[in-house]
Amino acid sequence: MPDGPLIIQSDRTVLLEVAHPAAEDARHDLAVFAELERAPEHIHTYRITRLGLWNARAAGHTADDMLATLDRYAKFPTPQTVAVDITETVGRYGRLVIERDDEGTLLLSSDDIAVLTEVSGARRITPLLTGRASDTSFTVQAWARGQLKQELVRLGWPAEDLAGYTPGTPHPIDLDEAGWALRGYQQKAIDNFFDGGSGVVVLPCGAGKTLVGAGAMASAKTSTLILVTNTVSARQWRAELLKRTSLTDDDIGEYSGQVKEVRPVTIATYQILTAKRKGEYAHLALLDAMDWGLVIYDEVHLLPAPVFKLTADLQARRRLGLTATLVREDGREGDVFSLIGPKRFDAPWKEIEAQGFISPAACFEVRIDLPQHERLRYAAAADDDRYRLAATAPAKLDVVRSLVDRHSGERILVIGQYLDQIDELADDLKAPKLTGATPVDERERLYQAFRDGEENVLVVSKVANFSVDLPEATVAIQVSGSFGSRQEEAQRLGRLLRPKESGLSANFYTLVSRDTVDQDFAQNRQRFLAEQGYSYTILDSHSLDAAA
């Protein structure tokens, strides 16, 4: 459109004018292939990266689609160099193919002999190949499928993996859709996953990622290994599968620090898979304990680094990653792309909210002035100590109390990073607390009391970030966090997005000490929320009435 909200620059950055009438539509379409880098008040900066373009291509978007988006919303013509770069980068995906010949031998193939020659001579790829099979293919070491894909992505030539998957040991699984049915976007996510073979489904918290997993299991009808973040999450998956599918108690095993069951559907924690004994991974046998036909990675953005190496050996098994964001704080998005698979489906949060499947949310950053003596203490502190001093400032306590009073009668989560701060908050609010030290059974009891309305306020550490189903939570007060982690913001906002029987909208507050690194880190969290289409209102702690 003439005079649109986007300015496309020759360095592949894209500027979005937030106040423009078409800004939200542009953001929605741009997020398919570009990553938000900075999100101050008026102009948001996106960057078009190779990995973003390849993920978009794998999800079915062509270079012409992406260029049409830029042209549709551009204030000025798209620079010719950017258009050429996008076309050529997208064209690299799938130029190389990993496949099998009639004897089942793994091949790296391409009709582009120059590209094939280039990659086959690369120092880190040559050892993975065993010889030339034809003018257009090389044979590949049987074990090297995952490592080859990693190295090809690093070289800038992502291969399309068409080598197929073991069906695994068949196991009957059907959805029990009495009184419910898969939503349209959930079914599309499942269909896209199977069309692509393996890969990642990106859905907001509360949009039913577990049901996508259950639907994939019902389609595959095979033995399934489900990897999750913690034991609470494992038990919630188990409860959901028992409720939504034909699986019985005898079909589902838990493999965690507490229980070691291997059954046709086994739910294991990342911690147990990465646990070491005498320097060796003690539970690797689980990966081959059954002939798994499907491996599901819950919260794939939190996949521990050692699991990537283990996953490199699982390439013959179909792999489904589930997540609310592809952003990883360790920068290993490329390993998710190559080893789990590319993005197969992505539904923006605001789109699903508009359909009524997740609750609307208002996001606020409350800036708090530190008293003079605390400012001086902060200023004199070592760099390593400053975030903790700012994040645990005593001045935050009065603000928490004020917000809890403001939302009296609602279900409120108060979230902190530091145990002494959590203890202080719980004592002051006379509310129960949950930390990593809280036994699993006690956590489940408190979560259930919160769901039932017996407890209206819970003070929680980061243990509540992951896969905890608290649908009636309407308020979250984030007092401190992990240095502005976008992952963490996705999880914490997600606690509020389940549709409410009460009909109340959600309010998400982050408390920030003004003029400190706490405020600097908050900009990173703002970036995530802006990326998802949420406005982020900044309030002064002295004028909280403005949020009413």
- Provide the pLDDT confidence category of residue 125 given band limits of 50, 70 and 90: very high
Query: Looking at residue 484, what is its pLDDT?
Result: 45
Q: Which tens digits make up the pLDDT trace of 403-445?
A: 999 999 898 989 888 899 999 999 999 999 988 888 888 888 9
Q: What are phi and psi of 246, to 5 degrees?
A: -80, 0
Beta pairing class for 106-109 and 96-100: antiparallel
The model carries a pTM of: 0.77
CA distances from 348 to 57, 203, 260, 312 (A): 17, 7, 37, 29
Query: Looking at residue 495, what is its pLDDT?
Result: 59
| DSSP H or E stretch at residue 508 | strand 506-513
Domain pair 184-352 / 359-547, same fold: yes
Q: Which tens digits make up the pLDDT trace of 160-170?
A: 999 999 999 99
CATH of domain 184-352: 3.40.50.300
Mean pLDDT of 14-30: 90
Q: What residue segments make up the domains of the chain, in order of their start?
A: 6-92, 96-157, 184-352, 359-547
Q: Which two tokens stand for residue 166?
A: 């073991």
Superfamily of domain 359-547: P-loop containing nucleotide triphosphate hydrolases (3.40.50.300)
Question: Has residue 546 got a pLDDT over 60?
Answer: no
Rounded distance between C-alpha atoms, residue 304 and residue 177, angstroms = 34
Q: Which tens digits make up the pLDDT trace of 310-327?
A: 888 889 999 999 987 777
Q: How many CA atoms lie within 13 A of 516 on its CB side?
A: 32
Rounded distance between C-alpha atoms, residue 548 and residue 544, angstroms = 7
Q: Minimal CA–CA distance to 186: which of 53, 30, 357?
A: 357
Q: Which two tokens stand for residue 215?
A: 């639907």
- Provide the pLDDT confidence category of residue 537 given band limits of 50, 70 and 90: confident
